Chain A
Amino acid sequence: MAISVKVMRRPDPGRTSYMRATLKGMSLTFKHLVRLKKVTLEYPEDQPELHPRWRGTHRMEVHADGRPKCVACGLCPTVCPANCIRLVGGEDDQGNRYPIVYEIDEFRCIFCGMCQEVCPVEAIHVGQHFENAEYTRDRFVYDLDRLMEQDHPTTLLWDPSDPRSE
């Protein structure tokens, strides 16, 4: 196929008026001047509403007696694509399997939510939370106690009334 060249004809700079384009632009500006709908969010006084599937920093669910729900099955470190979960399993005094060490490096985490998806006991969750500032980097490795302390709402990875999107 031959290459065809289309020649654009530009208006002559000396004979062109920009008045119409300017007025068009100004009309938009004035329209916003009188429109009263507020766009700016007065953060942090006003908090944004996060979507139900927002995937933020993690949270570990706990039993009523304060034990973590985690059974140290090892599926989340296995599925984690960023390799950010460190888990050492053990047995507690009641003979239950539990995590002796459970650490998530939130800097490494890519917040894919697969740890929550794979968890057989619904223990680890990603959360609807984004305010994570710290003064030191090492504070971003969340240990088990820290994960259990988190109280933000957890993420819904699917609609509970329609888990298979049917």
Chain B
Amino acid sequence: MPDNGRKADTVTLTIDGREVTVPKGTSLLDAAGGLGIDVPHYCYHPGLSAPAQCRICLVEVEGAPKLQPSCVTMAQDGQVVHTESPAATRMRKGVLEFYLVNHPLDCPICDMSGECKLQDYVFEEGREKGRGREPKRVFGRDDFGGDVLFYGDRCVMCTRCVRFMEEVARDPRLTVVERGSRAVIDTFFERGLEGASYAGNIVDICPVGALVSKDFLHKARAWDLDHTPSVCPGCSQGCNIELHTRDNLVQRLKPRENPEVNGHWMCDYGRANYEWMNRPDRLKEPAVGRGSDRRAADWQEVLQLLFGRLQEAGGAGVRLVGSPFASNEALAGLAALGGEAGSVEAGVFRSPRAPDEDPLPGFPTLVRRRDLAPNVDGAGILGFERTGGDDGSGGLEEVAGHEGVIVVLGDRLRDQGEDFGANASLFVYLGTVDSAAARNADFVLPIATFAEEEGSFVNVQGRLQRFWQGMHAPGYARPAWLVLGALAGALRGEGTPASAEEAFQRMVQEHAAFSGLDWDAVGAAGTRLEAAHA
């Protein structure tokens, strides 16, 4: 760090023989983490206070009479710290042995197995064989309510869950009862965690298998899951998440750290809202023809027929129905296609809205927003207008009877009758599942969900966030940006976008709100669209 006269703000110390300069007030544990040294810890969590009670992060500081808990010891100038000295490793080995006095060896049936910190640390540094002869104390398991199940025997008393509910959720529903080896986490009376809307996070922060998700119970082993960085589609907050998939099915959603959006957390509504990605009754192949004339066809044929119809339609009035669940690239492709096919009379989207917001008091940036769709703001920026009611229905009266071109993307038209689009000269339906209202569609094109394609959303903060492909789309379903980009590209004579990145670049060129953005620079953390919310 350069000496710029603000030297007092940083301290330089030596950890395991390596010198490091950190801001004043950094704990030894964080300073070591910056060097890539992982000091074992249970009670410390970057999003919570540090009570220094697990005693496993003790490190040797030269000059200190005893080992120091690195999570609360602040880095000081000239400190010399050893995390791997004989005293520190001997102490960790001892602490781990104490943890295993009562911890059951039920790793084979424990859901945390494979991502358990106790398992990791004992495997790295623990004793090969236990020396305990006494029977272990047994608590059994307790239903905490909500989605949380508590296995008291596995608990290491780090109290992260208690502190999360107290400090972050500000809804103290958990506490430690009893003392010593009989100490156990418990709820107050019969109230439990029922109705708490952020309680799922205590399952994530539990370093062992004491708190597990009922929904995920026994479903998959941690090492079988593929992790894909993504964005939660539950609301317009756009929490950064990871899709955990196995056998081409989403098994669970986990928050991914992003201090600008969701910190370490996500809400239970978003966490539980993934089953729709695993729907088996998906549209699997493109089809052409209205009503009883409908027949399946391959993409080549369908796109050529549709291209011909779009050229014929030239000049007709076009009405577009987008979806706040579609990516920016898909919506931009829809807008481009509408513009090429004729004159766009209206582009609308419908979004379900919750009656209220649900903030996380200890991390005010994170709020479960009213709009229960991930890309409401992106759709707005791309020229689509909200229509319909808060339950996501209605508002399509003008589209239903429209006589020109209708293109529906991603909206399932659940509330629309079978005569929807009956008068249209051309009706194209792009969707993940079939709809009764798509009966009059001339073309039914299967598209991928956000979990099956790459793309980006714009969240309520005006932040562009990318998501990655975690699953394969069923059958011949293709990403909407590819289908719409191919058609719009053909009408313009500029070819099909080869990747989501190319679709994104076309969008950046056309829409000023996105100008200056670079696909790679957006990265996994996302970036703010300054112009969008100026």
Using CB atoms and an 8 Å cutoff, list the residues of chain A in contact with chain B. Answer: 71-75, 78, 89-91, 95, 97, 120-121
Contact = CB atoms under 8 A, between A and B. Distances in A.
Interface residues of B, number: 11
Contacts of A90: 218
B297 interface: no
A97 B110 CA distance: 9
Interface string B209-229: 000000001110101100000
A120 B218 contact: no
B245 to A, nearest CB: 16
Given A73-B113, A74-B224, A78-B223, A91 B218 contact: yes
B223 A72 contact: no
Nearest to A98: B218
A86 to B, nearest CB: 10
Contacts of A73: 107-109, 113, 221
Given A73-B113, A89-B218, A90-B218, A121 B223 contact: no
B217 A91 contact: yes
A78 B108 contact: no
Nearest to B214: A91
A109 B223 CA distance: 22
Contacts, number: 26
Contacts of B224: 74, 78
Contacts of A78: 221, 223-224
A94 to B, nearest CB: 12
Given A74-B221, A75-B108, 10 more contacts: A73-B107, A73-B113, A74-B224, A78-B221, A78-B224, A89-B218, A91-B217, A95-B141, A120-B107, A120-B108
Contacts of A97: 109, 218
Contacts of B221: 73-74, 78
Nearest to B140: A95
A133 B223 CA distance: 36
Contacts of B223: 78
A71 B108 contact: yes
B52 to A, nearest CB: 34
Q: What 9 pairs across the A-B complex have the smallest Cβ distances?
A: A73-B108, A74-B221, A89-B218, A97-B109, A120-B108, A71-B109, A97-B218, A71-B108, A90-B218
Contacts of B141: 95
Interface string B81-110: 000000000000000000000000001110
19 contacts: A71-B108, A71-B109, A72-B218, A73-B109, A73-B113, A73-B221, A74-B221, A74-B224, A78-B221, A78-B223, A78-B224, A89-B218, A90-B218, A91-B217, A95-B141, A97-B109, A97-B218, A120-B107, A121-B108
Nearest to B113: A73
A91 B109 CA distance: 10
Nearest to A121: B108
B441 to A, nearest CB: 38
Interface in B98-138: 107-109, 113
A73 B107 CA distance: 8
Contacts of A121: 108
A72 B110 CA distance: 10
A50 B219 CA distance: 39
Nearest to B218: A89
B221 to A, nearest CB: 4
Contacts of A75: 108
